[in-house]
Amino acid sequence: MNWGEFLCSICILVAWGLVPVYGETWRQSGKNNYLGSINAQQRKGDDTTFGRMGRFLSLFTYVQFNNQACAGPSGETGTCVAPADCKRKGGISIGSCASGYGVCCTITVKCGGIIRENGSYFVSDTYPDTYNGIGSCQVTLVKVNAAVCQYRLDFDVLNIMGPETVNHVCINDQFIVSGGNPSVPAICGRNDGNHVYVGVEGGYNVSPVSLTVITTGEPFQRSWKIRVTQIPCSSTMKADEGCLQYFTGVTGQIKSFNYDLTSGRQLSNQDYTICVRSERNFCGIQYSQCTDDVNARNQSFTLSGNSNVAVPAMVGSTGNTNFCPNDYLIIPMATNVNRMVQGRSPTVDRICGGVLSADVTTNPTTVLSTVRPFILAFHTDGLEAPVDLDNKGFCLNYVQQPCINRIQ
């Protein structure tokens, strides 16, 4: 074989993902040993085909795949791998990555399957078509390696039948997470764009985690596509212990499950903690209601009372009838921004009613908390009617505040 034929053979192998320097199965120790022998030949001044091959392969040793996230032209996310690896895993290429040397690979797992690959999607058997049936669809999650401590479940699409209309309990359709910590409440309704974290112990010998969609109610055009990201114990994206939801960044938006201004209803039997990572040099956090372009009166924070009429904020520090015993959001040591709180209590914890405020008012207010870590705790009981009607839950925008003397 002459030098030109050899180069052509190598190019063909590379194109098909058969050269180990491209695949994720390439082992560092093997690479070092193999290239070490090549370099040794080159240092001796060997100008054989073997020495020239070393110089040729050195052009490709920098193209390695670490299962990094990528995105296709339509915005769909996947994992950057070698073409052969994507095919071996049963994935579909949605675009190129790594300067064209890799493919952005997406893997979908349907009912009865096992999710082993990071970044895989849990979908219905009929996806992308909707599902209009009755049954149970379950997948099992398996760690990609022993260093994984958490699963993050991103609801790219989660649209199943909502709760019943009296007490807002998920008795028709349910999304259930079994295993892991913290406990995930039953979720139903429309939850596109939301997420949950599921903690698992380090190592391989852990209890399995399963995801189940149960459909038992009336006919409904259901659809779900849930991305499963496996998070190592050392990752900066690892949530603090006990956080069902974890947000990062100086600004962001937080919604309760099944929040929808048109037809959403606040879910009953919810009890979980939401955490926001405190960014460097930020010591406080402000929360404000989201805008409402649907209703005549802003209903982006309706936790208790009859939402068909104006309901004032109620707070849980006064010890009277405004104590918020049933449905509430805890914001530690909350105070109103740019408005003095009436009465003797400068801060509150529990907030409920029909607007966000640290005092009893019908005017929505921006609320500040300087307690770190930044957390919210959301709780609802199992009853709504007859006192609580048409509550939608909450949607809050947050902005972290820099460490200045005023809030330190």
Predicted confidence at residue 102, as pLDDT, reads 92
pTM: 0.81
> What is the sign of the dihedral through the CA atoms of 336, 370, 303 and 253?
positive
Q: Among residues 65, 55, 69, which one has the least CA distance to residue 17?
A: 65
Residues 16 and 22: their CA atoms lie apart, in Å, by: 10
Of 2-6, 78-82, 199-203, 345-349, where does the model show the most confidence? 78-82
Report phi then psi at 192, rounded to 5. Answer: -55, 135
Whether residue 282 has pLDDT greater than 60: yes
Q: Going by DSSP bridges, is the β-strand pair 245-247/271-276 parallel, antiparallel, or unpaired?
A: parallel
Are 97 and 70 in contact by the 8 Å Cβ rule? The answer is: yes
Residues 353 and 362: their CA atoms lie apart, in Å, by: 9
pLDDT digits (tens, 9 = 90+) for 300-351: 999 999 888 888 888 875 455 557 889 999 999 999 997 655 555 457 899 9
Residues 204 and 12: their CA atoms lie apart, in Å, by: 38
Query: For the chain, how far is it from start to end, CA to CA, in angstroms?
Result: 74
pLDDT digits (tens, 9 = 90+) for 370-387: 999 999 999 999 998 888
| Residue 95 burial (CB count, 10 A) | 17
Predicted confidence at residue 38, as pLDDT, reads 34
Residue with tokens 């795949």: 65
